[in-house]
Amino acid sequence: MGKLAINRGNPVRDIKAKPWSTWPVTGEEERRNLLEVFESGKWWYGEKVKEFEEEFASFQDAEYGVSCTNGTAALEIGLLSLGIGAGDEVIVPPYTFIATASSVLRVNAIPIFADISLETGNLDPVDVEKKITEQTKAIIPVHFAGLPCDMDALKEIAKKYNLKIIEDACHSWGSKWNGKGTGALGDCGAFSFQMSKNITSGEGGILLTDDEEIAERARSYSNCGRGEEGHWYEHFLLGGNLRMTELQAAILLGQLTRLEKQTAKREERAKYLDENLKNIPGIKTIPRDKRVTRRSYHLYMFRFIEEEWGMKREKFVEAVCREGVPISIGYPVPLYQNPLFQEKGIGPEYCPVSCPYYGKEVNYSEVYCPNTEKLCQQAVWIAHPVLLAEKEDMQDIVSAIEKVWENREEIK
């Protein structure tokens, strides 16, 4: 297949001549909605927000949607709405963005890390059950890369121990488990619309639930503690100003019009990659689960086995990128190895640093989740915009990896 580009050969793909898909994808829908809001002069928390909440909740098969400023805020108001607070333990995975755990700390609860499945990157229900104590109150499963967690097993555990489930669905717009959308599978579920997400307004978030009482509390927490029946300056809860604007909702309504087709396209492209990468030595693709009836693919992930290639993953990533295919290594370390946890960067006002309601200490330097640590060493990511390219573009990804494999002895 020729000399490697990393050694001054010709790349598989000339990205100047054939650039990859860019993000975000926008169109007339966003322009029309934005102009309507702009000219109305009603830019703040009105009819467009309500319309988006209803449409997105329906898209994910949920009864209620409460919009907010971002996915982190959605997780926090979800925890608060379920009564999670000081001294409570919440089980979270360590292969995720910081907000999954920091949201727990922000409500003065204690994140407890359970390991993931090496094959999927999602919470391992067996290890979740091992981490449950008398102080455990909730589980936050992350549908990593858009792949739904084993919600059957997690819901069974939650029922057995009387625990709440807050889904971190910030990668899974459009994903379904046994025909029902993520975010509507547990007690509530949080989504993000940050710039990198599969549906975006730059920032933004939403909490979904089928429970009217949870939705009402979430609305109050996001809207300065106001109640549906009270007057404007009557406040019932210690809420915050976490409201979405009409301009954000206008953009998201436009984005939502093409999300289903984009989701199907990403699924199709990912299937092509699965079928064509699985036979390359040292490349481990994510197994498919029949209970996942639709998957969003916020990113495509596979595992790179250094021992089979005789090279470091970082060198492999560099070589493939030089062939014109954009890949990356993802999270370099488990969440618990971040300075926030290792160097006690948690403020003294938060559990577990200073919490009279907890009664014990957590030393995150002693946490060890072997599958998470291994995945941090093996994972390779392909960002979701790449999956919006055509099928022949997917072959460039396969060809680049095959080329590096066949010429691996060239790499020093």
Among residues 150, 168, 210, 393, the one annotated as catalytic is 168
d(Cα 240, Cα 220) in Å, to the nearest integer?
8
> For residues 170 and 191, is the Cβ–Cβ distance under 8 A?
yes
Among residues 226, 284, 294, 303, the one annotated as catalytic is 226
Which CATH code is given to the segment(s) 28-258? 3.40.640.10
Distances (CA, A) of 337 to 99, 164, 343, 352, 368: 15, 26, 9, 16, 9
Q: Which two tokens stand for residue 295?
A: 């998957």
Among residues 194, 342, 377, 395, the one annotated as catalytic is 194
Is the bond preceding residue 24 a cis peptide, omega within 30 degrees? yes
The SS3 call for residue 181 is strand
Across the beta sheet with 89-92, the strand order is 64-68, 205-209, 188-192, 164-168, 136-139, 89-92, 110-113
Beta strand pairing status for 188-192 and 292-294? unpaired
Domain residue ranges in the chain: 5-24+259-331+374-410, 28-258
pLDDT value of residue 352: 84
Give Dmax (Cα) for the chain. Answer: 72
Among residues 56, 59, 95, 97, the one annotated as catalytic is 97
What fold characterizes domain 5-24+259-331+374-410?
Answer: Aspartate Aminotransferase, domain 1 (3.90.1150)
> For residues 280 and 310, is the Cβ–Cβ distance under 8 A?
no
State yes or no: is 97 an active-site residue: yes
Among residues 137, 243, 269, 303, the one annotated as catalytic is 243
Give the residue from 62, 264, 240, 97 showing the smallest Cα distance to 168: 97
Give the residue from 124, 131, 150 showing the smallest Cα distance to 91: 131
State yes or no: is 171 an active-site residue: yes
d(Cα 88, Cα 86) in Å, to the nearest integer?
6
Kindly give the confidence (pLDDT) of every residue in the chain, 412 residues in length, as a single tens digit, with 9 standing for 90 and above.
689 999 999 999 999 999 999 999 999 999 999 999 999 999 999 999 999 999 999 999 999 999 999 999 999 999 999 999 999 999 999 999 999 999 999 999 999 999 999 999 999 999 999 999 999 999 999 999 999 999 999 999 999 999 999 999 999 999 999 999 999 999 999 999 999 999 999 999 999 999 999 999 999 999 999 998 888 899 999 999 999 999 999 999 999 999 999 999 999 999 999 999 999 999 999 999 999 999 999 999 999 999 999 999 999 999 999 999 999 999 999 999 999 999 888 888 888 888 888 888 889 999 999 999 999 999 999 999 999 999 999 999 999 999 999 999 988 7
pLDDT value of residue 345: 85
State yes or no: is 364 an active-site residue: no
State yes or no: is 384 an active-site residue: no
Tokens 């790179």 label which residue? 304
State yes or no: is 294 an active-site residue: no
